[in-house]
């Protein structure tokens, strides 16, 4: 295992609490819980040396054990709040994994269960961009639709009157003239040890973008669960048509 001679740790962060969707990480999409799907995905990548589940929930920990991942200790309460930074959770899991394994990991992937449509290619492109380019970090992104860009964004005044977010001279009614914008889609984050463990950073300095051009979903609202199910079903149907039974 390992990638280009670097030991690789996969961290699956799965907090028990969720305001938008109760028990979100245990919701079922495509026949599997979100956390189960993420764990299975990581374990199928042959170049990953170790997979760890970071959770504050015994119920999620038990789901992890069902998928062959040990969870020796639960995440501390102070790292399970709505306001804790992902890099803090990642750092805690990284150090705990090293203590348990008895050695350091050179690089790591953070794979959030709420992004169930990721592919092996997404993960491979992320780790390759990180290591081959000698960047401090890497993150998958998607192109922001034109109607969600700053040039199209509006605000509403106290009098409920619409106003442009940008100055008038920077607004744009023609979509084709709007410059490209990108947003994090949550599929994959990668980082060197010195980035997360030593500096406690991720996107601040040298994070390379890994663009994903197909439709993806980041589970945040109940509708996202339905959309993810639909996209997975469509993907399965497409594969079935490509390889019909003989």
pLDDT per position as a tens digit, 122-174: 999 999 999 999 999 999 999 999 889 999 999 999 999 999 998 877 887 77
Task: Show me where the domains of the chain are located.
Answer: 8-139+185-207
Q: How far apart are CA 132 and CA 41, in angstroms?
A: 23
3-class secondary structure, 187: strand
Cα of first residue to Cα of last residue in the chain, in angstroms, is: 36
Could you read off the pLDDT of 206-221 as tens digits, one per residue? 999 999 999 999 999 9
Say whether pLDDT at 113 is over 90: yes
The secondary structure element, H or E, covering residue 162 is: strand 162-164
- Which candidate, 139, 120, 117, places its Cα nearest to that of 45? 120
- What SS3 state is found at 112? coil
User: Which tens digits make up the pLDDT trace of 189-207?
Assistant: 999 999 999 999 999 889 9
| pLDDT at residue 244 greater than cutoff 80 | no
- The residue ranges of DSSP E strands in 55-151, in sequence order, are 107-110, 137-143
Q: What is the pLDDT of residue 170?
A: 80
Token pair recorded at residue 63: 């789901």
CA distances (Å), origin 187, targets 71, 126, 136, 211: 23, 10, 18, 10
Given CATH 3.40.190.10, say whether it is the number of domain 8-139+185-207: no
Question: Between 194 and 17, where is the model more confident?
Answer: 194
Give dist(CA 94, CA 197) in Å, integer. 7
DSSP 197: I
pLDDT at 22 over 60: yes
Task: Confirm whether pTM is higher than 0.85.
Answer: yes
CA atoms of 51 and 219, how far apart (whole Å): 22
Phi, psi angles (nearest 5°) of residue 42 = -65, -40
Query: Which contacts (CB < 8 Å, 24+ apart) does range 98-103 have?
Result: 100/72, 101/50, 103/7
β-bridge mates for residue 212, sequence order: none
Q: Please state the rounded mean pLDDT for residues 77-92.
A: 91
Residue by residue, what is the 3-state secondary structure of 2-65? Answer: CECCECEEEEEECCCCCCCCCCHHHCEECCEEHHHHHHHHHHHCCCCCEEEEECCCHHHHHHHH
68 DSSP 8-state letter: T
The pLDDT, as a whole number, for residue 193 is 97
């Amino acid at each position: 295992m390992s990638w280009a001679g670097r030991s690789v740790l996969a961290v699956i962060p799965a907090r028990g609490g969720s305001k938008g969707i109760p028990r979100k990480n245990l919701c079922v999409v495509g026949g599997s819980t979100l956390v189960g799907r993420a764990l299975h995905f990581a374990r199928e990548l042959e170049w990953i040396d170790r997979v760890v589940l970071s959770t504050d929930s015994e119920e999620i920990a038990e789901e992890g054990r069902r998928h062959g991942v040990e969870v020796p200790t639960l995440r501390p309460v102070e790292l399970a709040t709505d306001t804790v930074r992902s890099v803090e959770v990642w750092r805690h899991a990284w150090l705990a994994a090293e203590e348990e394994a008895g050695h350091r990991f050179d690089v790591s992937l953070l794979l959030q269960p709420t992004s169930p449509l990721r592919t092996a290619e997404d993960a491979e492109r992320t780790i390759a961009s990180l290591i081959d380019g000698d960047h401090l970090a890497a993150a998958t992104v998607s192109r922001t639709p034109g109607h969600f860009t700053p040039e199209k964004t509006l605000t509403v005044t106290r009098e409920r009157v619409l106003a442009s977010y940008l100055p008038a001279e920077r607004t744009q009614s023609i979509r084709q003239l709007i410059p490209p914008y990108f947003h994090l889609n949550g599929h994959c984050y990668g980082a060197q040890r010195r980035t997360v463990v030593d500096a406690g950073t991720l996107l601040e300095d040298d994070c390379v973008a890994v663009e994903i051009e197909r439709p993806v979903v980041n589970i945040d609202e109940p509708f996202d669960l339905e959309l993810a199910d639909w996209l997975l079903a469509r993907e399965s149907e497409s594969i079935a048509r490509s390889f019909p039974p003989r």
